[in-house]
Structure 1
């Protein structure tokens, strides 16, 4: 709860400072509100956002709910307005960030924690894959790659880039950004495919939580980092952002890495420790999550094998 209250304690004066900026600076007013009448917006926003955030800082749960719901509504409404008018693009980004922070702050105030376990509820719950021939796991894995790469590395980045262009949020990239992105994308994709094949053939499973490997995998790229598919996916996202010259797509990939590291990874590692016990814990001690430690870990990983 303490961290949630601290967040709202920061959000309240930040909102007040923004309104002061709107009052004294035409630039801030135009880039964040466009042609909207600031007086009309302020009538609702000051009590429902600034005051509610201040009260939430004192652990008033109703105020935390009010600030969060209002922030989400404003973010959605302002995004719609911005897409139609091409105005207030920076205001949309600010409100999206505030909405995300408010949701996290609300969870901390109400629950005392962030309920990351909801991520793996229902169809996304961790389950070992059904027993199939290796070719069956391989076919499922490549089908998943096509689906997920098509969505997360093509459809979503293109939508973000269109949004960025529509709202005039682009920041110039260097002339070699596209080539740098392509040079980064190729090895990252190769790493992802290598990891997927290893998972399917040795682990007898797929990258999906609902069809996880039924065998502990410490071979192939898993000898060097514990999560090579995550490393590959994040690098691919950054590469696509460079190829599109979109800082928002690069940010999308980096934010995804933070969410995966702090929300999904602890749950996945707890599940692996529960299923594979001490062999996984030895592997966890021997191999880092993100940064390879090649010379020092070979003997320890061989012991896990």
Structure 2
């Protein structure tokens, strides 16, 4: 067991260092293009003086990332901190001026991945369990009648759908226009998005009802079901609510004709699958034991298949 853990740590350390090395190479290539291709300079820096920016960015991003690629922890911390600062400053500049939008996206993508790479280099692990602390920690719901659980569940849907499917996509779409990074969509995109949104919402509601009536709980981690739910959409796929949420987000992106909103939905699916799902399944295994193991073996995570036996 000790050898397995050590091997996993070393693997993460190598992956984290490799990410920093790739970022160093990408940053160097970008600076070459900035000084040789006017279109790249304008799209990523706008009216900013590239020489002044390069004086700070090349040593703090390119060189420090390259050093971090050799596993130097201090360099990884410096590179990550600098990337976050640049992303925030560049986003503010682009929002005020309407310039350098593609530069914001590039730095935003780097910033999103840097914390995980930094943890890999510093700790040899990515502490995803910190996400589910405090009000987001896994806890069984208090015992109550089904009507109470259903009402609580629908209250959660209103709050979460309102925020993640209305507020956030609207803000992203507005920034996409402001940063001048919008791309054209096919004529039927909005209509297709509306159909997908309706179907995904029906799936989400059906999943929520099954969760609250059969599981004696809610979808929220702080009030999780007291019974393993193998009913409704859960008979066909293990995570119908997550599947519905991803489809809803992508559908909103089609309706708004915003590729950034579609990307936001896909990024959310990756975050949920690799950060949240393992923790959730570990909790389910601990609470429901062999029943959950049999369910996991019989029903796939993302792709619907042959329905499992009802419970």
Once the two structures are TM-superposed, the CA of residue 85 in structure 1 deviates from its matched residue by 0.3
**Is 1:243–2:263 an aligned residue pair?**
no
Q: Select the residue among 87, 90, 111 that pairs with 2:123.
A: 111
CA distance in 2, matches of 1:171, 1:210: 39
Q: Select the residue among 176, 200, 206 that pairs with 2:212.
A: 200
CA distance in 1, matches of 2:209, 2:106: 41
Once the two structures are TM-superposed, the CA of residue 16 in structure 1 deviates from its matched residue by 0.7
Query: Partner residue of 2:111?
Result: 99
Query: Partner residue of 1:123?
Result: 135
CA distance in 1, matches of 2:53, 2:31: 10
Summarize the alignment of residues 49-128 of structure 1 with structure 2, pairs less than 5 Å apart. Answer: 49-128=61-140
Structure 2, gaps ≥5 residues long: 1-12
CA distance in 2, matches of 1:87, 1:55: 31
CA distance in 2, matches of 1:77, 1:283: 48
CA distance in 2, matches of 1:102, 1:186: 36
Q: TM-score scaled by structure 1?
A: 0.97
Summarize the alignment of residues 151-300 of structure 1 with structure 2, pairs less than 5 Å apart. Answer: 151-294=163-306, 297-298=307-308
SS state at 1:277 partner: helix
Deviation by residue 1:145-203 (Cα, 9 ceiling, x = unmatched): 00000000000000000000111111100111110000101110001000001111110
Query: Partner residue of 1:21?
Result: 33
CA distance in 1, matches of 2:16, 2:47: 33
Query: Partner residue of 2:5?
Result: none
Q: TM-score scaled by structure 2?
A: 0.95
Deviation by residue 1:197-242 (Cα, 9 ceiling, x = unmatched): 1111110101100000001100111000001100100000011000
CA distance in 2, matches of 1:256, 1:97: 13
Once the two structures are TM-superposed, the CA of residue 106 in structure 1 deviates from its matched residue by 0.5
Runs of 4+ in 1 over 4 A off after TM superposition: none
CA distance in 2, matches of 1:289, 1:38: 47
Once the two structures are TM-superposed, the CA of residue 102 in structure 1 deviates from its matched residue by 1.7
Count of aligned pairs: 299
Deviation by residue 1:124-150 (Cα, 9 ceiling, x = unmatched): 110000011111111100000000000
Summarize the alignment of residues 1-16 of structure 1 with structure 2, pairs less than 5 Å apart. Answer: 1-16=13-28
Please give the root-mean-square deviation of Cα atoms over the aligned residues, in Å: 0.8
Structure 1, gaps ≥5 residues long: none
